[in-house]
Amino acid sequence: MTRTSQFFVSGLLCIVLVAGMAGCAAFRTKVSEVDVDKRQHLDATYDHTDLKDLTAGISEELIASAFLARHTEPPVMVIYGVQPRTRTFVDTKPLTDKIRNAVLASGKARFVNQARRDQLLEEQRHQSAHGAEASRVTVGQQLGAKYMLTGTLVEITKQTGRQVRVSRTELVYYSLTMEITDVQTGEIAWTTEREFARKERQPLIGW
């Protein structure tokens, strides 16, 4: 092998080695902090930005509502969650958790812990059987809720039809309805709605 050929082969090996190192680095796991208050969307579906926007707006509206203003004492509420009617999975518990936290912090309403009802009963039974008499809670003293907070999250997705194209456009629409119902009468005492839509364009060929 001539000296020129040796230089060529050595240079080629160096290039392959550098490219290989760069390629390996591209496949390494990388973790970085994300500002949760920054508005950003990675696709058209429901995300943490929507969660924050929806709950902030609904909480503010409920706290300032005539429904709560007419109560001389903060009414007791129970939360039975938001029903998801969505194509993709959406955990709706954070919606009611954040609304509850904001309203509770305002002092305008009180909430019973429906999600922990079984644990509460178990703890009361345990105290009744094994607790010191001076520290036992009184059984049968749980607050009865006057109102029930519920909701529905609806997702409607539309895509561009069959045609010759190099990309696909998807439109995703969401509607969140929240309502407060009088437990005794069944009357809807307060309700509100929030909606938004987002469009995403996806290439049919890509990495």
Q: For residue 76, which of 96, 40, 100 has the smallest C-alpha distance?
A: 100
Give the DSSP H or E segment for 90.
none
* Residue 82 and residue 97 in contact, taking contact as beta carbons nearer than 8 Å: no
Could you give the C-alpha distances from 147 to 73, 110, 129, 190, 205, in angstroms and in order? 13, 10, 33, 10, 52
**Per the confidence metrics, is the pTM higher than 0.75?**
no
Domain range list for the chain:
41-116+146-203
Q: Which CATH number describes the domain made up of 41-116+146-203?
A: 3.40.50.10610
Q: What is the pLDDT along the chain (207 residues), one digit of tens a residue?
A: 565 556 555 666 666 565 566 555 556 777 777 666 666 766 778 888 999 999 999 999 999 999 999 999 999 999 999 999 998 899 999 999 999 999 999 999 999 987 777 776 676 677 777 777 676 766 666 778 999 999 999 999 987 766 545 567 888 999 999 999 999 999 999 999 999 999 887 766 655
